[in-house]
Chain A
C-alpha cells in the first residue's frame, strides 16, 4: 500500500515533466503541473496511515523507506506543492513570460519531486544527493525572472548552500566510517543500521559527525548564522517558488538533521552537546529573525525572516525533545507549511498589484482588497503565533516541552522573542493596512481567483488545526517521537 503511494508521488510529477518537455505549450504546462501536484497530494494524504506499522516499510533493496516521520514531511511538501501549483497559474500569467512557462513548470515539478524524494531516502548518502538536487533545481527557479537581483540571489544561494552541504557530506562520511568499526568495511548506510551501530561508535567521531551534519543541513534549513542565502532567495524568486522553498524545502532538510539526531541519541556517550547545539542554533535563529523582522522594509524579505524564525522554533522543539517537543515541532511543520504558503501568496499578489517589493509603498490593502486582504492579515495574525490558530497550539506545546526540560533558558528566550516578533511583524501589517500613504498609490489590478483560492485552502486548515488538534494526529506524533527515541530493534545488516 505505502509502496504504491510512494510510486504515485514520484511518478505524477515525473510524468508531468515528461509531458511538458515533449509538448511545450504554456497553458498545457499549467494544467499538467496542476494535475501532477493534485495526484501527488492525493497519494500523500493517506500515506501517514499507510506508513504506520510495527516496522518501517522499505522498498528497492532498502533504499526507499516509508516511515511515519518521512510520510509526515512528504505530506507537508505535497500540500505546499499543490497550493503553489494553483497559485502559480494565476501568478505566472501576470509575468508575461508565456514562452518560458513550460520550462518554469518543468523545473517547478522537478523541484516538488526532489523535495518529496528526500524524506523517502533510506540511505544517508542518497538523502544527501536528493537535497543537493533540490538546490540545483531551485537555483534556476530563483533566477527565473532574470533581473540582476534574482541572479545575485541565485548565485549566493548555490554557493552558500553547496558549501554548507559539503560539510554535511563530510559528516555523513564520518558516520559511515564510525559504522565500519561495527559492521566491517562495506555496509548499506540506512538510518536503521547507523542507529543500531550507534551505541558501539566512537563518541568523539559521532559528535564531530553530527556537528558537521547539523551545520551542513542547517545551512539548507536556514538556521542562523547559516541563513544568509535564505532572505535573498525567498524574496527574489517568483512567489510560488518562495512558498515551496519556505514551506516544503526547509522541512525536507530538517528531517535529515533530526534523523541524525536520533542516531546520536542512540549513542550512549555522546553527552548533551548535540542537543544543546541544536537548541542554541534554534534560539539564535529566533534572535536574528526578531532583529531583522522589526526593521524590515521588503515585504517578501519579511516573510523570509519569518521562515528563519519558524525553523528556529522547530529546531527548539526537536532540541527539547520528548513526546511533547517532537509533537509540537511536527505540528508546527504542517501549520507553518500552510501558513507560510498563505503569507507568500498574499505578499506575491500585493507585490504585483502595487508593483513594488517595498512595504512603504503598499498602503490601504484592507480597503482595496477586502477578501484577499482579510485572508492575508488573518494569516499574519496566525503566523505570529496568536490564538486561535494552529501555530499557537504548536508553539505553546514546544514552550511547555522547553519549560519542563533542562534548557529552560531557551524556552524563556523563545517566549520573549515570539512576543517581540508578534509586535514587530504585525506593526508592518498595521502600517500597510491602516496608515495613510505619503503619496496616492493606486494598485494596478485585482487578484485573480487562481491566486485567492489557494489562500482560502491554506487559511481554513490553519484555523481548524488551531481549534481542534485531532487525537489521531497526536497519537501519530507519539509514534514518531517513540521511533526517534527508541529506534527499531531489528536491523538488516549489509
Chain B
C-alpha cells in the first residue's frame, strides 16, 4: 500500500520540520537575548552625563546617546532591577520610604514636582534639588543614576511598563512597581510637608 507509506513519511517529515523550526526559534530568541554590561563604556558614560534641562530645571532633552542606546534604562528588566537595588543601597528609602514618601516627596502619588521625564529625574538625582534632595554626582556613576531614575519613574508611572524590576526581597508594603497607573491606587495628591516644595528658579 504505497499511500500508507507516503503518509507515514509525511507525518515524520512534519515532526522533523516542526522540531527544526522550534530549534531555530529557540536559537533566534537566545541570540536576541538582552545583553548585559556591568561597566559602561567611558565614552558612553560621558555622553550620558550631558543632560540639558529647561531653564526652570523641569524637563529638557535627554542626551542623544540615550536614544541611540534604545532608551535602555526605562525598558530593560536588568536596568530596572539594578535601579531597585540602588534605591535601597543608597538609602533613598530614608526620605522617600517605599515610594510613598516621608521626609521627601512621594513617587507613588503620580505628582512629579519636576515632571515625570527621565531627564528630570536623572538630573534631580545627579545634581540634587532644593529643600533637602542631596546630589549623588560623586556617589554614583552616571549609568547608575540613569538606572535609578528608570526605577523611580516606574514607581509612579502613569501607565504600566512591559518590563518589571525584580520582586521584593522583603515584605510587600505596597503594590508592585509594574502595575499602573499609580494614581488609581494611591491618588492622594501631594502628601505631607512636601506640598510646598517647588522648583526655586
Bound pair: A and B?
no
